[in-house]
Chain A
Amino acid sequence: MDARLRRVNKEIADCKNDKTSKITLELVDESPFHLKGAFPGPEGTPYEGGHFEVDIRIPDSYPFQPLKMKFITKVYHPNISSASGAICLDILKDAWSPVLTLKSTLISLQSLLCSPEPNDPQDAEVAKHYMTSRSSFEETARYWTHIYAGGPEAKAAGKARDTPVGAVRDEIAIAGLEKAHVDQFEALGFERTKVIDVLRRLNYRGANVAKITEDRVVEELLKS
């Protein structure tokens, strides 16, 4: 057994034996170098109650090269791509150290959920949302946790139930927008998906709503 496999073996055993961290690892295929890690969303964050899965690939030159990780579960977070799950975290790039392990890296991901770094974003739109209106961002993040990570039903989801067209409301909540704003522009005769797309791109949320004129939005809608 080569050194890398021996180390990976120990690390998996370490995660299995450690009941307190609640981090789990499993094989994806027959290879011990392709794993699926999972951890619970940290308490006191919009991700609380969710179950987050991470795709892990162990490179040939591990532990001298960083682990390759990306989220399988969709996460609404400034440092995680909402589309691909790619993660922007220093230790997965140039700040990697060979003494880091699967467990310590997954714990770092967990703490990344606690403390976003909007100044070094992976998903610029989400980061803008985070900077503009923290409460609106958290509501959206909670909603994503609910629908993608199996988290508890959030406020946003509760509202969705009240409205007759739940599916459409979901789309708005996922984009982190206000229904009233979408309705307002939809009433002008634009397609709903288009409106959602443009408003999200313009970051039409919180204090920004006052800064962005309606003309500007209409202009963008006509352009798209």
Chain B
Amino acid sequence: MLADSLTQLLLSDVPDPTDFPKSPPGLRELDSSLRCNICGDLFDGPVTLACGHCFCSLCVRNALAEKAECPICRKQASETQLRVNLAIETCVAAWKLARTHILRLTKEEEERLTRPKRKASDFERIVIESPMKKRKRAGGYDERNSSPTPGSSKSPSKIRPKSPVKAKRVVSQQDDDVIEISSSPVSNAPDIPSAADLVTCPVCEKEVPFALINKHIDQRCPPPPPSDNDASTSKDAQQTAWSKLMAGGGGKGRPKERGIDEEPIPKASYHTLKDKQLRELLLDHHLPVSGDRSTWITRHQRWVMLWNANLDKSPNLRKSANDLRSELKKWEAEKTGKKKTVVDDVAGYEKRNKAHFQALTEAARPRKVPDKSPSAVAPGSPDVASPLATPRDIILVDEVEEVQIG
């Protein structure tokens, strides 16, 4: 049972450097070097301390509030030392985009390497045994792609002089491609280059897009043309990426455009503030003023932390003030409401605990009855029981209220 819940806990998908295998060196290290040592997630608003160590802004602000030293090297540190690390932020943004893709590629590579060798040799044997069949298919492939390749029978003869086996493999792969696309493209994906993937030309050993390899060989290996289709599809993306980057770079320099709202909030010395001033401080930022003074202080402290940490991010990555407010609310609820049980199915809960609720109502009733008609009280017991029962009843009733709120 416990072991089950442990595996259950571990099964939930939490991205981690160990997602990457050890074999292509550097990937695991890259992933872990882009993670905050405090939260273990990819840097969110990375900032650097005077000692050079980098953390998420919110994480390190939290840590510095506990102790004024670098969490890693323990050198003295303070919030005033924090400097935004734009380079790392850009790195993280790019890595977030690339991560899943690279993860998939490494997994595929791993699969390809661990796959039994026998398969590859079988593959070649089949190719050698049935050249006719292969050529037919290869021809079909060419037709399908309506590429201007002259008959495929020509290409093997051209390739042969240099490395016949290699050439055959290339062709056979393309042969396989035709079959696999119709059946299960995913399972064998690592072996089969897609049209955009680069393959090594068997003649000149240059990298050529797979879709163009036949054309390339037929034209006696000209230098590869600039990949037009690639550029055209990504041009828009590039443009937006550039404009994003430019906006990000300039964001810090022009806070005035965004108004006073985007200024960092200075820390307040709460002990010098009167209740009224403290209240105003909260109201200034449209924060709730429920609770007592100490609640106000922790609320404001947390708000300053959230707000200033948010400002350490590039403007396009920042959260809105309302998002921050709901984050603060969530944080407060988590902090105070640990004991509250959250009831999702209110109707079901009421049904299940009906007996309990009724008992509570019964228990609560005698307290009112004596006020109206003391004579109606059953002789003896309630009078003795009520003083004892009263405090407990109140607690229990509170519990019920909580549940209903939840």
Contacts and interface: CB of A to CB of B under 8 A. Distances in A.
Interface of A: 1-3, 6-7, 9-14, 16-17, 26-30, 32, 60, 63-65, 97-99
A13 B18 contact: yes
B9 interface: yes
Interface of B: 2-3, 5-6, 9-10, 12, 14, 16, 18, 37-41, 59, 62-63, 65-67, 69, 71-72, 74, 334-335, 338
Given A2-B334, A60-B335, A97-B71, A10 B16 contact: yes
B40 A97 contact: no
A27 B9 CA distance: 10
Contacts of A27: 2, 5-6, 9
A13 B335 CA distance: 26
A2 B9 CA distance: 13
Contacts of A29: 2
B6 A98 contact: no
Among A12, A28, A65, A97, chain B packs the most CB atoms within 10 A around the CB of: A97
Contacts of B39: 3, 6-7, 63
Nearest to A29: B2
Nearest to B39: A3
B14 A10 contact: yes
Contact of B74 (A10, A28, A30, A97): A97
A98 B3 CA distance: 28
B41 A12 contact: no
Contact of A99 (B18, B37, B62, B338): B37
Given A97-B71, A97-B74, A9 B2 contact: no
14 contacts: A6-B14, A9-B12, A10-B40, A12-B10, A28-B2, A60-B334, A60-B335, A64-B65, A97-B63, A97-B74, A98-B62, A98-B63, A98-B66, A99-B37
| Complex A-B, nearest 5 residue pairs according to Cβ-Cβ distance, in ascending order | A99-B37, A97-B71, A99-B71, A98-B38, A98-B63
A13 B37 contact: no
A17 B16 CA distance: 12
Contacts of B338: 60
Given A97-B67, A99-B71, 19 more contacts: A2-B334, A6-B14, A7-B40, A9-B10, A9-B12, A9-B14, A10-B14, A12-B6, A13-B10, A14-B18, A27-B5, A29-B2, A64-B65, A65-B66, A97-B63, A98-B37, A98-B63, A98-B66, A99-B37
Contacts of B38: 63, 98-99
Nearest to A9: B14
Nearest to B2: A27
A10 B31 CA distance: 14
A92 to B, nearest CB: 14
A28 B69 CA distance: 34
Nearest to A65: B66
A6 B18 CA distance: 15
Contacts of B62: 64, 98
